[in-house]
A = this chain, B = another copy of it.
Amino acid sequence: MIIQKSTNPRISNFDPENFSFGNMFIDHMIICEYENGKWGDVKLMPYGPLPFSPAMMGVNYGQACFEGMKAYKDKDGQVFIFRPEKNFARINKSANRLAMPEVTEEIFLGGLKALVDLDRDWIPYGEGNSLYIRPLIFATEEALKARIANKFMFAIVATPAKSYYSEPVAVKISDYYSRAANGGVGSAKAAGNYAASFYPTKLANEEGYEQIIWTDDSTHEYFEESGTMNVFVRINDTIYTPPTSEKILDGVTRDSFIQLAKRRGIDIQIEPISVKKVIEAHKNGTLKEVWGVGTAVVTTVFKAIGYQGERLDLPQLPLEESFALTLQKDLVDIQTNVAEDPFGWRVLVEKNILENA
Binding site for B on A (CB under 8 A): 21-23, 25, 29, 31, 47-55, 58-64, 66, 68, 96-99, 132, 134, 136, 138-139, 141-148, 153, 155, 157, 159, 174, 176-185, 190-200, 202, 217-218, 228
How many copies of this chain does one complex carry?
A: 2
In the bound complex, what is the Cα–Cα distance between A250 and B66 (angstroms)?
30
Contact A22 B143 (CB under 8 A): yes
Could you pull out 15 A-B pairs where Cβ atoms are within 8 angstroms?
A: A47-B53, A48-B53, A51-B51, A54-B153, A60-B191, A62-B195, A148-B198, A178-B182, A181-B181, A182-B217, A183-B217, A185-B196, A190-B195, A217-B217, A218-B218
Contact B191 A61 (CB under 8 A): yes
In the bound complex, what is the Cα–Cα distance between A145 and B139 (angstroms)?
21
Beyond A25-B142, A98-B199: 8 further Cβ-contacts under 8 Å?
Answer: A61-B195, A62-B64, A98-B196, A146-B197, A146-B228, A181-B217, A183-B200, A190-B196
In the bound complex, what is the Cα–Cα distance between A209 and B153 (angstroms)?
29
Q: What residues on B are CB-neighbors of A153 within 8 Å?
A: 54
Select A157's contact among B25, B55, B200, beta carbons within 8 Å.
B55
Q: What residues on B are CB-neighbors of A31 within 8 Å?
A: 54
In the bound complex, what is the Cα–Cα distance between A183 and B25 (angstroms)?
35
In the bound complex, what is the Cα–Cα distance between A190 and B142 (angstroms)?
18
Q: What residues on B are CB-neighbors of A147 within 8 Å?
A: 198
In the bound complex, what is the Cα–Cα distance between A199 and B183 (angstroms)?
11
Contact B49 A191 (CB under 8 A): no
Q: What residues on B are CB-neighbors of A98 within 8 Å?
A: 195-196, 198-199
In the bound complex, what is the Cα–Cα distance between A66 and B184 (angstroms)?
21
CB closest residue in chain B, given A96:
B199
In the bound complex, what is the Cα–Cα distance between A250 and B301 (angstroms)?
41
Q: How far does the Cβ of A200 sit from chain B's closest Cβ, in whole Å?
A: 8
Q: What residues on B are CB-neighbors of A49 within 8 Å?
A: 51-53
**Residues A53 and B50 in contact in the complex (CB < 8 Å), given A194-B61, A218-B218:** yes
In the bound complex, what is the Cα–Cα distance between A55 and B142 (angstroms)?
19
Scoring A52, A58, A61, A62 by chain B CB atoms within 10 A of each residue's CB, the highest score goes to A62
Select A64's contact among B23, B134, B143, B195, beta carbons within 8 Å.
B195
**Residues A190 and B62 in contact in the complex (CB < 8 Å), given A99-B202, A199-B99:** yes
Q: How far does the Cβ of A124 sit from chain B's closest Cβ, in whole Å?
A: 16
Q: How far does the Cβ of A263 sit from chain B's closest Cβ, in whole Å?
A: 30
Contact B148 A202 (CB under 8 A): yes
Select A195's contact among B51, B66, B159, B192, beta carbons within 8 Å.
B192
Contact B23 A143 (CB under 8 A): yes
Contact B55 A134 (CB under 8 A): yes
Contact A50 B58 (CB under 8 A): no
Q: How far does the Cβ of A95 sit from chain B's closest Cβ, in whole Å?
A: 10
Select A174's contact among B50, B159, B183, beta carbons within 8 Å.
B183
In the bound complex, what is the Cα–Cα distance between A143 and B25 (angstroms)?
9
Contact A157 B54 (CB under 8 A): yes
Q: How far does the Cβ of A13 sit from chain B's closest Cβ, in whole Å?
A: 17
Q: How far does the Cβ of A323 sit from chain B's closest Cβ, in whole Å?
A: 26
Q: What residues on B are CB-neighbors of A29 within 8 Å?
A: 54
Q: What residues on B are CB-neighbors of A217 within 8 Å?
A: 181-184, 217-218
Select A191's contact among B59, B174, B228, beta carbons within 8 Å.
B59
Closest 10 CB pairs of A and B: A192-B192, A49-B51, A62-B191, A181-B181, A62-B192, A54-B155, A61-B194, A99-B198, A181-B217, A218-B218
